[in-house]
Structure 1
């Protein structure tokens, strides 16, 4: 019976370690998923910054194009007035 108790005690210790490691593994996997989400959010933020910059650049180019269009119209009108 002494041997049996020793074996059961060892088995219980092993079971405790197994359960502990399994719960730690699950906890680490949850952390891994959270980190992946954070990484995606960081990438999203980077893309959003690029989009905002491109919108600003587009706005500036549109304004430049409008000014050029006005200059072309004025130039055309001055050529036609002189003719």
Structure 2
């Protein structure tokens, strides 16, 4: 059960990162729209770069989260199959 708890704990930390990054991505996309409206090309390019970097990181974290979910499920199934002491 310790293994299961550790996996769940790691997954919760990943979820926190995921939610934080999603919030930051949304915030940057709002800034991008504002900069597009005022046609500030230099700042726009910088924000677009940040957005692309965050999208890459978000994808990586989502993949990690999916793998952790599979590990949690497998660990739970193994724990459920083991006889209780």
Structure with greater proportional helix content: 1
Distance 2:42 2:70 in 1: 42
| Runs of 5+ unmatched residues, structure 2 | 1-38
Q: Which residue of 1 is the match for residue 57 of structure 2?
A: 57
Shift of 1:43: 0.7
Shift of 1:79: 0.6
User: Which consecutive segments of 4 or more residues in structure 1 shift more than 3 A?
Assistant: none
Give runs of aligned pairs for residues 32-71 of structure 1, distance below 5 A. Answer: 40-71=40-71
Shift of 1:42: 1.2
Distance 1:81 1:59 in 2: 33
| Runs of 5+ unmatched residues, structure 1 | 1-36
More relative contact order in 1 or in 2 (CA 8 Å, sep 6+)?
Answer: 2
